[in-house]
């Protein structure tokens, strides 16, 4: 796991150095962006329900805070490692700068299998994270949020622990909370909605006939399931979807809303529902190599690599997951003229609505769902077109174009502050 973990951060740095080739920034900026500003690794001791004591390794990384306080999710997964958290915090810094949200990049993770914990044990881990991170967190320093296997309930436990430690109510400490307790409308669907706006604008830019445009969505979690439903409702033909157990394919199209309902009601995996959906079972590997117009990887990182990139037949890729495509795969996809809408743009809806929640918490005034969606669209659509136009102008990949915009904004903040202020 260690080598693969380090590889993920090296992939992120490769993307950065590719962008450096097309932009004139100071050596100071380059030096600051190639390493995290600071990080903390600690162990969370938890008393299990059976009386045993178990420790869980946790990380929190501040990558860069030149633009504003760090922002980023906390993921719970048995494969969590420092290299992964560093990479994710780096991408978050790029993402916030790209869509002009006044945050820097942060990320956290706990090496834990949540399926092995009771509700009470999960709460102890969550409260322990806040105690362990200590003064590393705060509403004007580092604002956490949900990520893989973390929920609004977990955010609430963390918020309550922080309030207890500080002795005051500070809702802006964390985002992704339940709506009834300081959360924002639209947060649950934000990542998917941002990706939907990007996919819709891509279709317009390429003059695609939406009704005939086929889509495969890898990953049917929060982001993937909502995105599939939004695309289906808009008129795209969603022909394949998958979860961790595999997927299904149906040439005539799949109704994602019906599939989600059945999956939840019967507690079955997507492949187990193939017969009910009148679809064909496929593996995740097969889904990535389907002959479709748009592929939306919405699961884990490193899904498209040099091993399978040559077999990818999609004309366009919209990266909903973080880091689903390796740099080596990017090179192959570029040669095949497959346009990739990069993760730092495609999934930026999540951090944007997290920013909205933070603002609402600060103001003590809350917006309705239509206002949230409207404001998200006004950020995502211009960001897509600025990136698309820069890609065309500079004759670079859309990923590199996104990095150029982000690096330039961070560089201006660094140069304005000077090294002491960063």
The answer to whether 422 and 414 are in contact (CB under 8 A) is yes
**Two tokens, residue 140:** 């004007």
Burial of 302 (0-12, 13-18, 19+ CB in 10 A): middle
Closest CA to 52 of 118, 134, 126: 118
Question: What ranges in 207-281 are assigned the alpha helix state H?
Answer: 222-234, 256-266
Separation between Cα atoms, residue 317 and residue 195, nearest integer Å:
11
- Enclosing H/E stretch for 56: strand 53-64
The answer to whether 265 and 234 are in contact (CB under 8 A) is no
- The three-state secondary structure class of 328 is helix
Separation between Cα atoms, residue 174 and residue 166, nearest integer Å:
14
Catalytic residue among 37, 71, 86, 107: 107
Closest CA to 77 of 57, 96, 63: 57
Asked if 280 is an active-site residue, the reply is: no
Closest CA to 347 of 317, 369, 374: 317
Separation between Cα atoms, residue 320 and residue 264, nearest integer Å:
22
Handedness of CA 192, 197, 200, 201 (dihedral sign): negative
Q: Provide the pairing of β-strand 104-111 with 214-218.
A: unpaired
- The three-state secondary structure class of 93 is helix
Q: Provide the pairing of β-strand 104-111 with 53-64.
A: antiparallel
- Enclosing H/E stretch for 2: helix 2-20
For residue 100, count other CB atoms closer than 10 A to its CB.
Answer: 15
Separation between Cα atoms, residue 199 and residue 356, nearest integer Å:
22
Burial of 288 (0-12, 13-18, 19+ CB in 10 A): buried
Closest CA to 324 of 99, 11, 90: 11
Handedness of CA 305, 308, 309, 313 (dihedral sign): negative
Residue with tokens 């450096």: 20
**Two tokens, residue 75:** 């993921």
- Which positions are annotated as active-site residues? 107
């Amino acid at each position: 796991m260690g080598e693969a973990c380090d590889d993920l951060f090296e992939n992120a740095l490769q993307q950065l150095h590719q962008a450096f080739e097309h932009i004139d920034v100071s050596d100071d900026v380059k030096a600051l962006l190639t390493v995290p500003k600071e990080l903390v690794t600690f162990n969370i001791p938890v008393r299990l329900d059976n009386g045993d004591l178990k420790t869980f390794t946790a990380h929190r990384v501040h990558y860069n805070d030149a633009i504003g306080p760090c922002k980023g999710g906390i993921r719970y997964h048995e494969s969590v490692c420092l290299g992964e958290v560093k990479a994710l915090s780096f991408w978050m810094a790029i993402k916030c700068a790209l869509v002009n949200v006044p945050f820097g990049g942060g990320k956290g993770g706990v090496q834990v299998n949540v399926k092995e914990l009771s509700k009470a044990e999960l709460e102890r881990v969550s409260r322990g994270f806040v105690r362990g991170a200590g003064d590393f967190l705060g509403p004007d320093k580092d604002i956490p949020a949900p990520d893989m296997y973390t929920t609004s309930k977990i955010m609430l436990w963390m918020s309550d622990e922080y309030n207890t430690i500080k002795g005051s109510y500070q809702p802006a400490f964390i985002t992704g909370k339940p709506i009834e307790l300081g959360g924002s409308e639209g947060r649950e669907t934000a990542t998917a909605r941002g990706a939907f706006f990007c996919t819709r604008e891509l279709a317009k830019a390429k003059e695609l006939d939406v009704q005939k445009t086929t889509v495969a969505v890898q990953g049917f979690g929060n982001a993937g399931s909502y995105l599939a439903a939004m695309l289906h409702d808009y008129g795209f033909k969603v022909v394949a979807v998958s979860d961790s157990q595999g997927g299904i394919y149906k040439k005539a199209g799949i109704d994602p809303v019906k599939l989600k309902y059945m999956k939840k009601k019967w507690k079955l995996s997507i492949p187990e529902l193939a017969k009910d959906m009148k679809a064909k079972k496929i593996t995740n590997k097969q889904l990535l190599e389907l002959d479709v117009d748009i592929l939306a990887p919405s699961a884990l990182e490193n899904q498209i690599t040099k091993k399978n990139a040559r077999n990818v037949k999609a004309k366009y890729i919209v990266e909903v997951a973080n880091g689903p495509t390796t740099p080596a795969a990017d090179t192959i996809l570029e040669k095949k003229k497959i346009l990739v809408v990069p993760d730092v743009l495609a999934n930026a809806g999540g951090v944007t609505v997290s920013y909205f929640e933070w603002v609402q918490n600060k103001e003590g005034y809350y917006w309705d769902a239509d206002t949230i969606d409207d404001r998200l669209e006004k950020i995502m659509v211009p960001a897509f077109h600025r990136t698309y136009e820069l890609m065309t102008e500079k004759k670079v990949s859309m990923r590199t174009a996104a990095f150029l915009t982000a690096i330039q904004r961070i560089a201006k903040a660094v140069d304005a502050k000077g090294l002491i202020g960063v």
